[in-house]
């Protein structure tokens, strides 16, 4: 379980998160929607400790993310993250991109790591591209590779930060399909997204972020069909 309690985050004088409370259960798919600057991506970066917080507490399965004694490298093994800019390692082949962390972080042998990588890459439909460098892949393929790279660590949680925002429209579908598949397999996912249809269809709950807080949270039916707050309705209408 991921528990977020009263989290505040500031970049200098900019108050980005103003007291977020949220918990995500194992197996749940939670979507975060909201305008840009509403704090949803920042929230995601705080969950795996890529960003620090000024107040509050985030715990992942009881481990406090921002406690001094917490070994973040160890915690991050269990939290996969995929970014908007897919961040392929350009100097490594697709296979090496995926085997690097299992080998260097989990200490798996090359054979073991490759077996896992091939399994994950087949899973996202990139089995034919093992020896290829990322520059030869389309954006959608690079993004699916990034998903396979995170999955190769067998994480308990997957975080997705606007993973389709930088993609050409015709490539969005393949990435969303991959995420749909993951949710069906029971992966716990937190998805920051602008793809409302996807959020509606895949999520167990949807959180609407506004001005650094969760303004409304509920089932997709509630948020999309019967929003309780006028701002939620206004946001959904605007996009």
Partner 1 sequence: MDYEFQWRPVLRSLPEMLWGALQTIEIAGLAMMLGTVLAIFLALAKRSGKKYLSLPADMWIETARNTPALFQIYMLYFGLGSLGLQVGSYTALLLGITFNNAGYLAETFRGGFAAVPETQTRAARSLGLGAVQTQWHIVIPQMLRAVFHAMTNQMVWSVLMSSLGVIVGLTTDLTGVTQELNVVTYRTFEYFFVAACLYYLISKAFTLSARVVAWRLFRY
Q: Given the rule CB under 8 A, which residues bind partner 1?
A: 48, 50, 73-74, 76-77, 79-81, 83, 85, 87, 89-92, 100-101, 104-106, 133-135, 146, 149-150, 153
Nearer to partner 1, 86 or 208 (CB): 86
| Residue 151 Cβ vs partner 1, minimum distance, rounded to whole Å | 11
Nearer to partner 1, 93 or 219 (CB): 93
CB atoms within 10 A of CB 149: 27
| Residue 83 Cβ vs partner 1, minimum distance, rounded to whole Å | 7
| Residue 192 Cβ vs partner 1, minimum distance, rounded to whole Å | 14
Nearer to partner 1, 83 or 224 (CB): 83
Q: Which residue has the tokens 């507490």?
A: 57
| Residue 87 Cβ vs partner 1, minimum distance, rounded to whole Å | 4
- The one-character DSSP state at 129 is G
Q: How far apart are CA 20 and CA 127, in angstroms?
A: 40
Nearer to partner 1, 41 or 232 (CB): 41
| Residue 230 Cβ vs partner 1, minimum distance, rounded to whole Å | 37
CB 145 within 8 A of CB 97: yes
CB 28 within 8 A of CB 205: yes
- Token reading at 89: 């390692």
Q: Return the bridge partners of 81, or none.
A: 159
Per-residue CA distances from 141 to 66, 121, 127, 129, 162 (Å): 33, 10, 11, 9, 16
**Neighbour-count burial for 152-163, b at 16+ CB within 10 Å, e otherwise:** bbebbbbbbbbb
| Residue 130 Cβ vs partner 1, minimum distance, rounded to whole Å | 14
Q: Which of 65, 68, 58 is nearest to 17 (CA)?
A: 58
Nearer to partner 1, 102 or 212 (CB): 102
Nearer to partner 1, 70 or 87 (CB): 87
């Amino acid at each position: 379980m991921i528990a977020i309690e009263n989290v505040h985050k500031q970049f200098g004088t900019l108050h980005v998160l103003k007291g977020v409370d949220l918990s995500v259960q194992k197996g749940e798919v939670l979507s975060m929607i909201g305008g840009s600057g509403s704090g949803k991506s920042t929230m995601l970066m705080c969950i795996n400790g890529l960003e620090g917080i000024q107040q509050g507490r985030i715990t992942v399965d009881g481990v406090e993310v921002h406690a001094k004694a917490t070994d973040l490298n160890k915690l991050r093994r269990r939290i996969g993250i995929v970014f908007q800019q897919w961040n392929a390692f350009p100097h490594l082949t697709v296979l090496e991109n995926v085997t690097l962390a299992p080998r260097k972080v989990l200490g798996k042998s090359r054979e073991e790591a490759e077996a896992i990588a091939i399994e994950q890459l087949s899973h996202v439909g990139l089995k034919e591209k093992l020896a290829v460098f990322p520059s030869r892949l389309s954006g959608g393929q690079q993004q699916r590779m990034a998903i396979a790279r995170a999955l190769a660590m067998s994480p308990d949680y997957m975080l997705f930060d606007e993973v389709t925002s930088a993609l050409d429209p015709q490539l969005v579908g393949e990435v969303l399909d991959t995420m749909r598949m993951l949710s069906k397999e029971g992966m716990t996912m937190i998805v920051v997204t602008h793809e409302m249809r996807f959020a509606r269809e895949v999520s167990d709950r949807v959180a609407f972020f506004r001005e650094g807080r969760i303004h409304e949270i509920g089932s997709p039916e509630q948020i999309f069909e019967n929003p309780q707050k006028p701002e939620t309705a206004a946001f959904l209408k605007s996009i």
